[in-house]
Amino acid sequence: MLVLVVLFPTFTFAAFFAMVFAVHSVFRRSPTAWKIAMVAASAVFYGWWDVRFCALIAASAAGNALVAWALAPSEGRRRSALLATAVALNLGVLGFFKYYGFFLDSAAHIVPDRDLPVLDIVLPVGISFFTFQALSYVIDVHRREIEPASLLDVSVYLSFFPQLVAGPIVRASEFLPQLKAPRPHRVAAGEAAWMIGRGLMKKVVIATYLAESVVDPVFDAPNAATTGETFLAMYAYAIQIYADFSGYTDIAIGIALLLGFRFPKNFDNPYRSLSIQEFWRRWHMTLSRWLRDYLYIPLGGNRGGSIATYRNLMLTMVLGGLWHGASWTFVVWGLVHGMALAAERLWTDVRSRRTLSQHSSQTDALAPLRWFATFNVVCLAWVLFRAENFDLAMEFFARLIAFDTSGATLDVSVAGPWLVIAGALAFQFRPDQLGQRLTTLLDRPFAVVHGAALGGWIAFIAAIGPEGVAPFIYFQF
């Protein structure tokens, strides 16, 4: 069970961050002391969950720092061998902790009469995130896109607590340059307050309400649900996972802003997308760019013809699905998205033969249909993502097409869940300038005004939200 300090929407974390911010204020003009303090704070943050795995992050930082130093002056085969070693070690650690049981279970079905070694392995929270960050660091050094950093800087980069357990996946080229200067005296407090407040509302109110009222009851026992309930649960989960994950990254970005760091944007209204390709440009954007730059393009990207492009899209999305979890449901979830991307690319190739004017007019006319199709493909795929196993996923899909209205356990005519879903979708289509204008407005008052406003907002959320805070969905990855 997760200890509350790693959950942002708790008073325990608020007390922890208040102490960290006080230390940050004292040492912000002394870069070395500040870095040591942040490594210590991150060790407390992560070690509060399980102190044993602090050694894992320390080993990752030390190992990748050493490889990066060795990479810098090397050439030719030695350089390639060092990179291969770093990639193998990082993926080996990730594979052991995350996929040992998965591969063991899969092997047991292939060779059922063999006694295979069984180990009780605890999955370190956030291992997928800091492993991908470590990989991007050594790969970028190998590509000569960045210079090797000190062990202390690498330790801060991999362990920085705001994004340690669930991202966003911040690249070394985005983070390390910000470490070179002392922490700024003036930070974007208004923007930080907006991000933290928005994230808390998403997680504590919207995601929790949908999970408890609709999603968990139906997904836990889909055979007991009607067709209307399964449709409601499917759409509710799409909103829940967005509110949950984007809520975490909003809070993480806001906390980082208060400490003088700017993290990359991770979500951009993904449910307004008109294609699966656009969806992945808007959903978990840091992972999408990571998969593109470190997997899809090295595989060959769109070079080598259409067949090679389709193959690379499929491989990238299948491996992206496996990154999310050690289960065949995640593999098939990635396969569905890969097939959809390949189908879209095929259709684009066919459409490109038409004139530009025909293409433009058709695109405008079909925009509502394209949105509807994209959103429902994404929602149907989310069923595989949420279901505990294939049997429950198949039961859920069967109920979707059963047109059964008997034995209802939920009252789908109740307006609450439907209004939340509709409101969340409508919010996706708000003008892009609205948030920018609000952020600019919030940057004007003094810090005490920001603090009072955020405090009042947190009190409001605590009043309307449920008791307790469930772990963020992406903690399991």
Do 136 and 211 belong together in one domain? Answer: no
Q: Which two tokens stand for residue 82?
A: 């060092």
Last residue in a domain, options 179, 207, 234: 179
What is the tens place of the pLDDT at every residue in 389-419? Answer: 999 999 999 999 887 766 556 655 567 899 9
Last residue in a domain, options 157, 179, 201: 179
In the 8-state DSSP scheme, what is residue 166? T
The mean pLDDT of 24-30, rounded to a whole number, is 91
Do 359 and 441 belong together in one domain? Answer: yes
What is the tens place of the pLDDT at every residue in 422-438? Answer: 999 999 998 876 666 66
Comparing CA positions, the residue from 295, 287, 213 lying closest to residue 245 is 287
Do 98 and 195 belong together in one domain? Answer: no
What does the CA dihedral 374, 276, 327, 210 come to, rounded to 10 degrees? Answer: -40
**AA letter at 150:** S
pLDDT of residue 460: 66
Mention every residue, 6+ apart, whose C-beta is less than 8 A from residue 209.
Answer: 416, 417, 420, 466
Domain count, the chain: 2
Q: Is residue 323 part of a domain?
A: no
Q: Is residue 57 part of a domain?
A: yes
pLDDT of residue 357: 46
Do 391 and 466 belong together in one domain? Answer: yes
Do 157 and 240 belong together in one domain? Answer: no
Comparing CA positions, the residue from 238, 201, 232, 204 lying closest to residue 217 is 232
Number of neighbours of residue 17 by Cβ within 10 angstroms: 20
Residue 44 structural domain? 4-179
Do 164 and 239 belong together in one domain? Answer: no
What is the tens place of the pLDDT at every residue in 156-184? Answer: 999 999 998 887 999 999 999 999 888 88
What is the tens place of the pLDDT at every residue in 371-392? Answer: 999 999 999 999 999 999 999 9
Measure the CA–CA gap between 382 and 283, rounded to whole angstroms: 13
**AA letter at 472:** F
What's the chain's average pLDDT? Answer: 85
Comparing CA positions, the residue from 182, 167, 95 lying closest to residue 133 is 167
The mean pLDDT of 231-252, rounded to a whole number, is 95
* SS3 of 19-61: HHHHHHHHHCCCHHHHHHHHHHHHHHHHHHHHHHHHHHHHHHH
Measure the CA–CA gap between 321 and 332, rounded to whole angstroms: 7
The mean pLDDT of 111-116, rounded to a whole number, is 56
Last residue in a domain, options 127, 157, 179: 179
pLDDT of residue 47: 84
Report if pTM > 0.85.
yes
The mean pLDDT of 103-107, rounded to a whole number, is 63
Do 244 and 164 belong together in one domain? Answer: no
Do 158 and 256 belong together in one domain? Answer: no
pLDDT band at 17 (very low <50, low <70, confident <90, very high): very high
What is the tens place of the pLDDT at every residue in 119-129? Answer: 666 778 888 99
The catalytic site residues sit at 324
